[in-house]
């Protein structure tokens, strides 16, 4: 199972890992209804919607339930037509209406897989919680952190493909992204240790279109200020930044030679490994002191469970949205 968080943190719901969140891949806005389909053979759809009383008037005949409560009492009804069957559930929580739909081909009313998914739909509905405003930031932050980590994992697919193709410009750009990610994680973890807190400064993991960006070289400077980077590695990253800009923007109009691409790629990979090992030391410190991201007792190098790997594969698939990189997610 995996958690889906409404984009603003308004509600959370636990859905099967085998379900793909479909809005982004289909080009729909990230607003109600939020749609899910299986990664393989999408012959049904599950949708969940959440509307404030300003968006959709509350039904006066439905019991009002409380924030932060699972196992909600949903009223169920059907709306079938000639081609599709639709099971619908509705509930009122505080000043919001929650609605869910399970839609499938009417010819498959008694299909074993459709009936199996119906039970999984009901299980998912039992986990949904409309969060009170004071809890939404935490849900939002955790969701963005998980997406950040999935993006970092997905970057290795692109990196490995670039290496196989000897595409050194692409390789260097991806590795520069990974260095940036490792340093952002290191900065957040160092702040958690210094402040003895489990709270994450999410600005390092997510930037909305309206946020002021924290650029790559600023991350280098912040890491140096927090004594994460020493002078030698800091200078190497600054040098590589300038060389990469020359490689990307001035390859044609300068004396830059193609063989330099391989040298820069090697230097980037070497620097990346140094930064990764620095981050690992900070992870170990968090584990030992029971503070921050690794303060939950899970060792940074612990072997992941099969379910954890399955979840990671699903998250990476959701990042790529490309068949070339898609891993098969088998149903339970």
pLDDT, one tens digit per residue, over 8-51 is 999 999 999 999 999 998 889 999 999 999 988 788 999 999 99
Q: Kindly tell me the burial class for residue 79, based on how many C-beta atoms sit within 10 Å of its own C-beta (0-12, 13-18, 19 or more).
A: exposed
DSSP type of residue 261: H
In this prediction, residue 234 carries a pLDDT of: 99
DSSP bridge pairs for 179 = none
**Per-residue pLDDT at 158:** 98
Q: For 98-152, write each residue's pLDDT tens digit.
A: 999 999 999 999 999 999 999 999 999 999 999 999 999 999 999 999 999 999 9
pLDDT value for 305: 93
Q: In this prediction, what percent of the chain has a pLDDT beyond 90?
A: 92
pLDDT at 115: 96
Whole-angstrom distance, CA of residue 262 vs CA of residue 171: 10
pLDDT for res 209: 87
Structure tokens at 27: 């080009």
With bands split at pLDDT 50, 70 and 90, how would you rate the model's confidence at 297?
confident
Looking at the DSSP bridge assignments, the partners of residue 140 are: none
- Alpha-carbon gap, residue 188 to 239, rounded angstroms: 24
Do 20 and 11 meet the contact criterion of CB atoms below 8 Å apart? no
Is it the case that residue 157 has pLDDT exceeding 80?
A: yes
pLDDT-derived band at 173, boundaries 50, 70, 90: very high
Q: Retrieve residue 41's tokens.
A: 């053979």
User: What's the confidence (pLDDT) of residue 28?
Assistant: 92
Could you give the CA distance from residue 99 to residue 85 in angstroms, rounded to a whole number? 16
Write down all domains in the chain, each with its CATH number in brackets: 2-131 (2.60.120.1690), 135-301 (1.20.120)
Read off the DSSP letter of residue 92.
E
| Cβ proximity of 91 and 73 under 8 Å | yes
> Is 130 within 8 Å of 96 (Cβ atoms)?
yes
Taking only the tens place, the pLDDT of each residue in 197-243 is 999 999 999 988 899 999 999 999 999 999 999 999 999 999 999 99
Give the model's confidence band at 332: pLDDT under 50 very low, under 70 low, under 90 confident, else very high.
Answer: low
* Structure confidence by residue, pLDDT tens digits, 263-273: 999 999 999 99
């Amino acid at each position: 199972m995996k958690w889906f968080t409404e984009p603003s943190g308004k509600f959370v719901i636990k859905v099967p890992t085998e379900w793909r969140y479909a809005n982004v891949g289909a080009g729909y806005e990230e607003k109600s209804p939020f749609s899910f389909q299986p990664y393989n053979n999408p012959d049904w759809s599950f949708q969940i919607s959440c509307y404030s009383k300003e968006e959709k008037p509350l039904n006066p005949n439905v019991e009002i339930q409380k924030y932060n409560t699972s196992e909600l009492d949903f009223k169920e009804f059907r709306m079938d037509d000639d081609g599709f069957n639709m099971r619908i559930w509705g509930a009122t929580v505080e000043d919001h209406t929650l609605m869910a739909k399970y839609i499938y081909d009417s010819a498959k009313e008694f299909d074993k897989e459709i009936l199996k998914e119906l039970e999984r739909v009901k299980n998912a509905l039992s986990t949904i919680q409309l969060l009170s405003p004071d809890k939404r930031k935490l849900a939002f932050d955790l969701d963005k952190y998980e997406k950040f980590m999935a993006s970092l994992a997905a970057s290795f697919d692109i990196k490995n493909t670039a290496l196989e193709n000897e595409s050194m410009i692409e390789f260097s750009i991806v590795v520069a992204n990974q260095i940036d990610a490792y340093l952002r994680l290191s900065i957040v973890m160092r702040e958690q240790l210094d402040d003895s807190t489990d709270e994450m400064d999410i600005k390092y993991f997510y930037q909305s279109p309206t946020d002021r960006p924290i650029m790559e070289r600023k991350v280098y400077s912040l890491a140096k200020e927090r004594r994460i980077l020493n002078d030698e590695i800091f200078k190497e990253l600054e040098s590589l930044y300038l060389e990469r800009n020359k490689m990307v923007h001035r390859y044609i109009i300068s004396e830059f030679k193609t063989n330099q691409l391989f040298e820069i790629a090697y230097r980037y990979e070497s620097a990346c490994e140094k930064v990764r090992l620095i981050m690992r030391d900070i992870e170990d410190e968090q584990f030992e002191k029971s503070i921050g991201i690794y303060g939950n007792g899970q060792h940074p190098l612990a072997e992941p469970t099969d379910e954890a790997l399955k979840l990671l594969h699903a998250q990476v698939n959701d990042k790529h949205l490309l068949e070339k990189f898609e891993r098969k997610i088998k149903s339970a």
